[in-house]
Structure 1
Amino acid sequence: MRHGKKINHLGRTASHRKAMLSNLAASLILHKRVSTTVAKAKALRKYVEPLLTKAKNDTTHSRRTVFAYLQNKESLKELFDEVAAKIANRPGGYTRILKTGYRLGDNAEMCVLELVDYNEDMLTTTGTAAAGAKKSRRRGGKKTSAETAAPAAAAPAAPAPEAPAATETSKDETNDAQ
């Protein structure tokens, strides 16, 4: 049984796991997204989100604490200068996991882990969808009189006599074929 065993060891020793998560976190901060397996992404999310929270408070102590985890000066500078300014108002949930399918070689489930505030495509689509049109439901409700009048006006414009003529010619063609 797995009582009290929350950490996913990812099939690695502790030092290998620590180095891998540190490198992935540095890449995520520098490039704003990283493609990896779902298991590694979930482990990386638990690793990097406390670092992002600590980066909101730009003090010498918090810089040294984050550097102890990242071990990368460029990613540390990027985190405290640009990323921290963008996530300053967000109360958590800095990352998003988007599943992309399965890897061809070993069929591992792959995903993209990205920083939420840096995906401009999703920010624009969610902003317009929330403020835009009314969402549709599966079964339609009662229609208003304007909606029922519009289809009724369009229906007589369709040529009705042509439909039976087309079926009669097809019947003649099937009789000739026999």
Structure 2
Amino acid sequence: MPTPPKGKRLGGGAAHERLMLANLAAQLFEHKSITTTQTKAKRLRPYAERLITFAKRGDLAARRRVQGTIASRNRTNKGIVHELFVNIAPVMAEREGGYTRITKIGNRKGDNAPMAVIELVMEPVSPKQAVVKEATQAAATAAPAEEPTVEETASASSASAESADSAESAASPVEAADEKNEKKDEA
């Protein structure tokens, strides 16, 4: 797992921080969304996303590694690991990262700590991104397109000329009124 940053740790020691992050990750995978402090949410994000990346691999070694990471002292969280590998990982298969979203929600009433909601992004990848990706792949593999024929070019230019004429006729009364106002101002 990612090494904890130097300096102050959540909860005091490095071992306690690892346990807290494991418990937060287990709750995130179980409930799909949790409310916590902004600092804990920011520390949880890379930890949880790494576990999801292991789950996307889906092999036995990855399952055992996640199980060892999420397991608490007296109990194992096999149900949560199963949920992660069976339900969450297939949804995240098309995503190349960014599995979690942090939303700031204001301060806690008791101690005024800044709070945030961290949730799994379960929506499918944006169709616009998929279309752009497919278009670039198609452009790379397809042969160059044929040039337009003379008839197609002529019809396109006549259509643009007609739209320009209609735009000029629509603007003419306004310009005429402006010219009349200018003449009155000069007199």
* Same-fold status (TM-score > 0.5): yes
3-state SS of paired residue (1:114): strand
Identity of aligned residues (%): 47
| Mapping 1:55-134, distance limit 5 Å | 55-71=55-71, 72-117=77-122
CA contact (8 A) 1:8 1:43 kept: no
- SS where residue 56 of structure 1 aligns? helix
Partner of 1:137: none
* AA aligned opposite 1:41: A
Deviation at 1:10? 1.8
| Runs of 4 or more above 6 Å deviation | none
Partner of 2:131: none
Alignment partners' CA distance in 2, 1:11 and 1:67: 23
The residue type equivalent to 2:121 in the other structure is V
| CA distance, structure 1, for counterparts of residue 53 and residue 10 of structure 2 | 25
User: Structure 1 unaligned runs (5+)?
Assistant: 128-143, 150-178
Whether 1:22 aligns to 2:22 is: yes
Residues in 2 aligned to 1:86 and 1:106: alpha-carbon distance in whole angstroms: 37
Judging by fraction of residues, say which structure has more helix.
Answer: 2
Q: Would the aligned equivalents of 2:10 and 2:16 in 1 still touch at CA under 8 Å?
A: no
CA contact (8 A) 1:55 1:79 kept: yes
Give a deviation string over 1:139-164, Cα, whole Å, max 9, x none.
xxxxx969xx9xxxxxxxxxxxxxxx
Letter in 2 for 1:55: A
TM-score (structure 2 length as normaliser): 0.59
Q: d(CA) in 2 for partners of 1:55 and 1:90?
A: 13
CA distance in 2, matches of 1:79, 1:8: 30
CA offset digits 1:69-101 (Å, max 9, x no partner): 111111100000000010000000000000000
* Inter-partner Cα distance in structure 1 for 2:109 and 2:20: 22
CA distance in 1, matches of 2:8, 2:122: 27
Q: Quick one: structure 1 residues 109 and 51, their matched pair in 2 at CA, closer, same or farther if it must change by over 3 Å?
A: same
Residue aligning to 2:54: 54
SS at match of 2:116: strand
Check the 8 A contact 2:45/2:100 in 1, yes or no. Answer: yes
Structure 1 CA distance, aligned partners of 2:66 and 2:19? 14
